[in-house]
Structure 1
Amino acid sequence: MTTLGSINYDEAIHFHNDSDSKTETGILTVSKEDLAKTEFPEWAPTWDIKHDHAFENIEPFKHIDRGNFADPTFKSLKINDDVKFKRVTPNLGLEIDGLQLSELTDKQKDDLALLVSKHGVIAFRNQDFKHQSFDKIKEWGKYFGPLHIHPTSGAPLNHPEFHLVYRRGSENEQKKFFKDKLHNIGWHSDVTYENQPPGLTLFAMLQNSESGGDTQFINMFEAYDRLSPFMKEKIDDLKVLHTSKDQAYFAKLTGGIERKDPSDNIHPLVRYHPVLKRKCLYINKSFSRRILGLKTEESDNLLLFLLNHIESCLDAHVRMTWDSNTVVVWDNRTVIHTPTTDWDSSDIRHAFRVTSIGERPIGSQEEYDNWTPELEKENIKKTNYYTNLSPAEYYDEVIANEN
């Protein structure tokens, strides 16, 4: 694709050979100067050379969404008058105070899964989550599904299941972001290049400046619903190629590692949420590359239209603010997000993500009901074949047969 502009890869997750360092045991990590200013050094990002290409994606599996077992009244989460719920906007975003995520029962976690899906993103204030052990946090995340291992980001030593965001303390950090671009906004849904991308995602702040660095979200249900019936009909069955190759290239370019081989996967442009029974747009500038069956200019222009439409939906948008005890949980299937680089101090900004793998993206209830791991393994084998078909060949072999 050539018309979509520059692609933003968040430098806060990758190793930088020009400023970071290597320990005596050969572990890549941040500089000694930054480490000295890090309040939670056990969470310092590392890139272990022995993990380079040491992992593979898990085999296809039938995901069990815990939201299917929830009580839609959410009584278990409203345990007393000290628990405060506050809507951020009517259709997206919720803030909760007085409820500790680390202490939730399994029943409460089920209700949490549905609550997150309904509101898209929830900020939990005054949390003790970051003070829990690595193992306890991983067990918490595994309740919702197997944990995702990011192919290129920093992780605490010996705990690759965590993804770390770490803004270095250099006074030139912000200047570097804007050296050759006008902004650092990069709307995306996490790792959509995986065959089964994340579902429920938890992001916990470890260390933050007094203000700034908000995370912004857009509701992809709303972005789809606003399209005309005619446009919905035309795009409902389209498929999009997602890839991690550019992200992997950037990580290697700056001296980092690849825990897994780069991956290409084909996903529906319009995704169906099997719990809420709703459709949403499922594309992002970071990883979506082209629509199968269309010629280059056709694909570029349709993606450009849809991405511009999504990113202009600031009336289907929330901006979540952070402090050092905030945890935000979102449904990675139905919202996109971006960091906000709006501070000019030399403060360290440090956070971790733990995310469970969800279902294979599907376009309808029928597709969800008929999906099996065995069929998926066969479909994966055809990915390269389908992506290499010309538009005419793809139409004859896929689209015409579906119709």
Structure 2
Amino acid sequence: MVVPLTVYSNSDIHFRKGEDTIRNGVYSISDDNYKRLKYPAWTPTWDPKHQMAFTNPKPFRHTDRGYFGDPTFQNLLSGEEVQTRKLSPKLGTEVTGVQLSALTPRQKDDLALLVEQRGVVVFRDQDFKDQSFDFIKDWGKHFGPLHVHPTSGAPLGQPEFHITFRRGSRDEAKKTFANKLNNISWHSDVTYETQPPGITLFGMLQTDVGGDTQFLDTVEAYERLSPTMKKLLDGLKVLHTSKDQASNARQQGGIERKTPIDSIHPLVRYHPVLKKKCLFVNRAFSRRILGLKEEESQALLNFLFRHLDTCLDAHVRAQWDERTITIWDNRRLLHTATLDWDSDNLRHAFRLTTIAERPIGSEEEFNEWTEELEEEKIKRTEEDSLIPPYEYYERYYK
């Protein structure tokens, strides 16, 4: 069987009925946790005014800023004070001596290319959390439109920010591990969207030792496969859904900013800047391979999930402190939180997510893509998701 969504914990992004509270008519964290925040302006809230107040964006042609980056990164990394360290030969770089908030547009283009080439870049000693919300949003819009998460906490009046908040409870780990052996949940953010994220920024506000974020390279995971397996997977389509996440939010008493959505994406995704292919599938939101019978889809998804779960020689860990910003390419990387503490420390962070291109399976498909064709595909999503395997094969694979 395909592992259900319950393995993917939303406990750090969703309102918790019975544990959190309502403050001034807005759902928020408990008074005890609120008093412990170092940055109360970033308090996670779930504003009833935002219930179904947003819609998913219409298809648009994304202009990736990585195309305009300098492969030598002279504008971004040439200063005497700048130091870089590779986290692994193929994946991840740590940078000191670069202040993200001070980058010029040209340096931001270099940053986009660096993030896409290295997958994830960790920046130390950053002042982002001391900037205004508007400044940070304007900074992020250089890379694409900003995503609004359908169910997570956000600073009051700032739905473009996604807040991750681990409550200060010594029982957190005990409750999590009461019925399972680990809390590793490899995923790519909101892949159910018609145009999921590309450049993604995650900033730490308050933390202690532990809680590393782990990243896994799906380009490398794809390239590890045999030619025969690649041939089998190339061209297959997968149904992604936000409905389980939305249900989770409702059950915990939270809000939904958008109508739940299904999307059909290629199982093997083509990255237009890198001109490489990667696996675009994850336990959190990928539900079924279209055109296969139920048992076939489950068996193939479970193989891929296990391959990704165990491909730890294609992964890195980012360690956090309270002035660290990590930026990654959500198209090619999976990530997971690490629950490795049993203290009462808070872990408070924010994510700013920019929307990228519609996932496509090849360079040819990328070049032929139009907003009009995409609108037609979106309209057929429900119909196509219900087509029997033989008919789906005849219509789309043959």
- Measured against the shorter chain, the TM-score band is over 0.9
1 CA distance for matches of 2:2 and 2:267? 18
- 1:338 alignment partner AA: T
Secondary structure at the residue paired with 2:328?
strand
Whether 1:287 and 2:285 are equivalent positions in the alignment is yes
Whether 1:348 and 2:363 are equivalent positions in the alignment is no
Whether 1:269 and 2:275 are equivalent positions in the alignment is no
1:334-391 CA deviation, whole Å, 9 max, x = no partner?
Answer: 0000000001110110000001000000001110101011111111001011100011
- Partner in structure 2 of residue 22 of structure 1: 22
2 CA distance for matches of 1:253 and 1:229? 44
TM-fit CA distance, 1:316: 0.4
What is the RMSD of the two structures over their aligned residues, measured on CA atoms?
A: 0.8
1:151-190 equivalences in 2 (<5 Å): 151-190=150-189
1:184-237 CA deviation, whole Å, 9 max, x = no partner?
Answer: 11100000000000000000000001x100000101000000100111011100
1:90-239 equivalences in 2 (<5 Å): 90-209=89-208, 211-239=209-237
TM-fit CA distance, 1:310: 1.2
Structure 1 portions without partners, runs of 5+: none
- 2:170 alignment partner AA: E
Whether 1:75 and 2:74 are equivalent positions in the alignment is yes
Q: Which runs of 4+ in 1 moved over 4 A?
A: none
1:38-87 CA deviation, whole Å, 9 max, x = no partner?
Answer: 10000000000010111001111000000000110000012312100100
- 1:103 alignment partner AA: A
1 CA distance for matches of 2:178 and 2:76? 46
- 1:31 alignment partner AA: S
Secondary structure at the residue paired with 1:15?
coil
After TM superposition, the structure 1 stretch with the greater mean CA deviation from structure 2, 70-79 or 198-207, is 70-79
1:295-344 CA deviation, whole Å, 9 max, x = no partner?
Answer: 01100000110111111111101011000000000000000000000011
1 CA distance for matches of 2:149 and 2:395? 34
- Partner in structure 1 of residue 303 of structure 2: 305
Secondary structure at the residue paired with 1:318?
strand
After TM superposition, the structure 1 stretch with the greater mean CA deviation from structure 2, 76-85 or 91-100, is 76-85
With the length of structure 1 as denominator, give the TM-score of the two structures: 0.97
TM-fit CA distance, 1:169: 0.9
Whether 1:331 and 2:333 are equivalent positions in the alignment is no
1:278-297 CA deviation, whole Å, 9 max, x = no partner?
Answer: 00000000000000000011
1:84-107 CA deviation, whole Å, 9 max, x = no partner?
Answer: 010010010100001000000000
1 CA distance for matches of 2:149 and 2:176? 23
Secondary structure at the residue paired with 2:7?
coil
- 2:345 alignment partner AA: D
Secondary structure at the residue paired with 2:204?
strand
1 CA distance for matches of 2:175 and 2:133? 33
1:38-57 equivalences in 2 (<5 Å): 38-57=37-56
1 CA distance for matches of 2:230 and 2:257? 38
2 CA distance for matches of 1:188 and 1:275? 22
8 Å CA contact retained: 1:4, 1:300: no
- 2:7 alignment partner AA: I
2 CA distance for matches of 1:3 and 1:199? 27
1 CA distance for matches of 2:179 and 2:53? 35
With the length of structure 2 as denominator, give the TM-score of the two structures: 0.99
- 2:197 alignment partner AA: P
Whether 1:256 and 2:254 are equivalent positions in the alignment is yes
Secondary structure at the residue paired with 2:316?
strand
2 CA distance for matches of 1:338 and 1:290? 22
- Partner in structure 2 of residue 318 of structure 1: 316
Secondary structure at the residue paired with 1:261?
coil
1 CA distance for matches of 2:285 and 2:348? 24
Identity %: 58
TM-fit CA distance, 1:9: 2.5
8 Å CA contact retained: 1:9, 1:247: no
Secondary structure at the residue paired with 1:68?
helix
- 2:115 alignment partner AA: V
1:259-290 CA deviation, whole Å, 9 max, x = no partner?
Answer: 00100000000000000100000000000000
TM-fit CA distance, 1:7: 2.9
- Partner in structure 1 of residue 372 of structure 2: 374
Secondary structure at the residue paired with 2:18?
coil
2 CA distance for matches of 1:102 and 1:191? 26
1:140-175 CA deviation, whole Å, 9 max, x = no partner?
Answer: 111100000000000000000000000011221221
8 Å CA contact retained: 1:240, 1:289: yes
1 CA distance for matches of 2:276 and 2:324? 29
* Count of residue pairs brought into register by the alignment: 397
- Partner in structure 2 of residue 11 of structure 1: 11
2 CA distance for matches of 1:396 and 1:358? 31
8 Å CA contact retained: 2:7, 2:183: no
2 CA distance for matches of 1:183 and 1:18? 25
8 Å CA contact retained: 1:9, 1:286: no
TM-fit CA distance, 1:392: 1.1
